[in-house]
Amino acid sequence: MARLFEVGITRDLLRADGTDGPWGVGLDVLHRHPGVRTVYLGEDAAGLRPDHVRGLDALALFAPKVTGETLRGADCLAILARLGVGYDSVDIAACTRHGVLVTITPDAVRRPMATAILAMMLGLSHRQWQKDRITRAGHGWSRRSDYFGMGLTGRVLGSIGLGNIGREVFVLARPLEMRHLAYAPRATAAQAAPFGVELVTLETLLHESDVLVVACPLTPETHHLLDAERLTLLKPTAFVVNAARGPIIDQAALTDALRAERIAGAALDVFEQEPVDAADPILGLENVILSPHALCWTDECARQIGRSAAEAILDVAAGRVPRHVVNREAIETPRVREKLRRYREQAEAA
């Protein structure tokens, strides 16, 4: 009898009652596959230990951290399929050394994340959060003229980043008739042109944007990219939307700018520390819209993310290189090639 392909699934993909949670819905193809055996890890751990992954061929994970220590003795492991697009919780270099491919799910996230950013942008420009508050307080009609919004026609939509999500934001924003700018050092004018985007320097982007979207990965180069000094370059009427990673913005500096009304407002789905401290002063500001790193969480997003991760795992189980590999330098390493060869032979013999 052919050996089953062992897939571990982190327990944060389960509901409290032990049933598949929203993110696990798209993984159902793994549960039904005759050559695959799925097992949920024994505990919901923030950081994975070697005993969590030992003996597994694949791991589908959402939030837990993976370090070099996690992979000690994980000789069978060939793929970490992360449900989402960020991978700062995974030690990529360690995965490459151990012959483990790391995949993400950009196609599944693109539209849900871009629509969430658009919703934040519209909420800010219409001052929806403030109008909601004064209405609930019972004086909406007497104070509504104090909260005029900002029309977007002819305004500047700027993005830090022009990747998968940044491009989709510009696609969805086309009917708003805004001018589109982006700071994306690795992009070319030819790549930006189909999306109606002009590439500019970071300083130009900050000076000219009426709505500034943060849509880049968190890396050592982008950590605190928007610091106190750069925040002073924004217009006092500008809005900032961050649905990427919190530490890209110096949150203390952003809080000061919002408190002093040096910028008009911000919408944050991410924070420098998560979960955000209940005493964090940003929670008390009225010119911010806040979400607990969950704004794009919809049934569509969860289903597509799960399916994308499952497809990557099944590709490896068949001996194929999956799409959306983060550490592409690992693909041609002897350890990865040997694992894929072994899985391919097992699949053909089944």
Contact partners, residue 282, CB within 8 Å, separation at least 6: 251, 254, 255, 258, 268, 271, 276, 288, 290
Catalytic residue among 52, 82, 293, 307: 293
7-27: average pLDDT: 84
Give CA 106 to chain center in angstroms: 9
- Residue 265 exposure: Cα atoms within 13 Å on the Cβ side: 20
For residue 112, is the peptide bond before it cis, meaning its omega torsion is within 30 degrees of 0? Answer: no
Say if residue 1's pLDDT is above 60.
Answer: no
Q: What share of the chain is helix, strand, coil (3-state, %, to 5)?
A: 40, 15, 40
Q: Is 293 annotated as catalytic?
A: yes
Contact partners, residue 260, CB within 8 Å, separation at least 6: none
Catalytic residue among 11, 245, 307, 324: 245
DSSP summary character for residue 43: S
User: What pLDDT score was predicted for residue 15?
Assistant: 81
Residues 273-328: tens digit of each pLDDT: 999 999 999 999 999 999 999 988 898 998 999 999 999 999 999 999 999 999 99
Catalytic residue among 274, 286, 300, 345: 274
Find out whether 170 and 180 touch, Cβ atoms under 8 Å: yes
DSSP string across 175-207: GG--EEEEE-TT--HHHHGGGTEEE--HHHHHH
All domains of the chain in start order, with CATH: 5-106+298-349 (3.40.50.720), 108-290 (3.40.50.720)
Q: Is 286 annotated as catalytic?
A: no
Find out whether 200 and 182 touch, Cβ atoms under 8 Å: yes
> What mean pLDDT is reported for the chain?
94
User: What pLDDT score was predicted for residue 162?
Assistant: 97
At 255, list the tokens. 């809080």
Q: What is the dihedral of CA 192, 194, 195, 196, to 10 degrees?
A: 90
Residues 42-67: tens digit of each pLDDT: 888 899 999 999 999 999 999 999 99
Say if residue 28's pLDDT is above 60.
Answer: yes
Enter the pTM of the model: 0.83
User: What pLDDT score was predicted for residue 349?
Assistant: 84
More confident of the two residues 88 and 211: 211
DSSP summary character for residue 4: P
The β-bridge partners of 60 are: 9, 81
Any idea what the Cα angle at residue 224 is, between residues 287 and 222, rounded to 5°?
A: 120
